[in-house]
């Protein structure tokens, strides 16, 4: 089903992007893996059908260039999965101390850039008459407010900007899916629960109590849903947000 399909994966060097890239390679898709860091994906660049492009995604010219070079290489693009997570160095400031500069940069880099990626790839799909797919990664934090009690007494938090950005991603998904449904462009997003990443044991225990049997997830737990959304099996799913959270949001 994925032979001759061409996808761009942003943030391919990260947790979700890397697992997704490996899976797409395994099932025969042609992919361009893009990120500002490439240490984890270097070894995947072993075939002419799997390219690595090191770019900073927060620049619209770079997005245009990425689309142009992918088309030049493979003659078409079937979809893009936006997994990049461009946060500032001071990401996660406590609410009362949040600086306007940090707020402005993170809102633009994470939400604004998602809008610009849509703008450029939708223009490309329309120009080339492609029934393309766009997939964003939102989060459970965009669906429900954080469970603040899970963070109590720990040096970790879930920032307000994150919730607002992730709700924005869900909104952007349904807005654009509605606007372009007559062009047969599908735009969906997934909202994963937290992914295991050396969180304190106390946090993991509290988190698990509000889930089924798994609690924090592995990147592999997310990839299957993204593959489904890229596949023919989801042909008439458009503008949706699919929550993958082992019941956290229930």
H helix intervals, 12-159: 15-26, 60-74, 100-106, 113-127
Closer to ligand NAD at the Cβ: 126 or 156?
156
| Minimal CB distance residue for ligand NAD | 14
Closest distance of CB 201 from ligand NAD, Å: 17
Pick out residues in 40-79 that bind ligand NAD (CB under 6 A): 56-58
How far is the C-alpha of 94 from the C-alpha of 92, rounded, in Å?
6
38, 99 contact by CB (below 8 A): no
Sheet holding 186-192, edge to edge: 50-54, 30-35, 6-10, 79-82, 133-137, 186-192, 241-244
Closer to ligand NAD at the Cβ: 113 or 122?
113
Pick out residues in 131-160 that bind ligand NAD (CB under 6 A): 137, 139
Residues 11, 159, 215, 239: which binds ligand NAD (CB under 6 A)? Answer: 11
Closer to ligand NAD at the Cβ: 56 or 183?
56
Please choose, from the candidates 151, 159, 158, the residue with its C-alpha nearest in 3D space to the C-alpha of residue 203: 151
Q: Is 48 exposed, middle or buried (0-12, 13-18, 19+ CB in 10 A)?
A: exposed
How far is the C-alpha of 217 from the C-alpha of 245, rounded, in Å?
8
Q: Which stretch binds ligand NAD (CB under 6 A): 6-14, 24-32, 121-129, 206-214?
A: 6-14
Pick out residues in 182-201 that bind ligand NAD (CB under 6 A): 192, 194-195
79, 230 contact by CB (below 8 A): yes
Confirm or reject binding of residue 173 to ligand NAD (CB under 6 A): no
Closer to ligand NAD at the Cβ: 130 or 216?
216
Closest distance of CB 106 from ligand NAD, Å: 11
How many residues in the shown chain lie near ligand NAD by CB under 6 A? 21
Q: Which stretch binds ligand NAD (CB under 6 A): 13-21, 95-103, 143-151, 170-178?
A: 13-21
How far is the C-alpha of 134 from the C-alpha of 119, rounded, in Å?
11
Residues 13, 118, 186, 188: which binds ligand NAD (CB under 6 A)? Answer: 13
What SS3 class is residue 34? strand
Residues 1, 4, 37, 250: which binds ligand NAD (CB under 6 A)? Answer: 37
What SS3 class is residue 39? coil
33, 17 contact by CB (below 8 A): yes
Q: Is 236 a catalytic residue?
A: no
**Catalytic positions, written as ranges:** 162
User: Under the rule (CB under 6 A), what is the footprint of ligand NAD?
Assistant: 11, 13-17, 35-37, 56-58, 83-86, 137, 139, 192, 194-195
């Amino acid at each position: 089903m994925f032979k001759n399909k061409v996808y761009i994966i942003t943030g391919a060097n990260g947790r979700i992007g890397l697992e997704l890239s490996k899976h797409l390679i395994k099932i025969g898709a042609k992919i361009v893996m893009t990120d500002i860091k490439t240490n984890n994906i270097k070894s995947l660049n072993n075939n002419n059908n799997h390219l690595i492009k090191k770019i900073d995604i927060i620049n619209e010219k770079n997005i245009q260039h990425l689309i142009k070079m992918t088309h030049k290489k493979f003659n078409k693009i079937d979809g893009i999965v936006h997994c990049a997570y461009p946060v500032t160095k001071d990401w996660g400031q406590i609410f009362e101390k949040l600086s306007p500069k940090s707020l402005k940069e993170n809102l633009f880099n994470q939400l604004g850039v998602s809008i610009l990626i849509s703008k450029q790839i939708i223009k490309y799909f329309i120009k080339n008459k492609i029934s393309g797919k766009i997939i964003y990664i939102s989060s459970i934090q965009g669906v429900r407010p954080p469970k603040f009690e899970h963070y109590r007494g720990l040096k970790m938090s879930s920032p307000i900007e994150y919730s607002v950005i992730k709700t924005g991603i869900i909104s952007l998904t349904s807005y654009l899916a509605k606007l372009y449904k007559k062009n047969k462009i599908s735009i969906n997003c997934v909202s994963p629960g937290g992914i295991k990443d050396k969180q304190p044991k106390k946090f993991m225990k509290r988190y698990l109590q509000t889930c089924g049997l798994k609690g924090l997830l592995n990147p592999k737990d997310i990839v299957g849903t993204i593959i489904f959304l890229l596949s023919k099996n989801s042909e008439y799913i458009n503008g949706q947000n699919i929550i993958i959270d082992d019941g956290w949001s229930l």
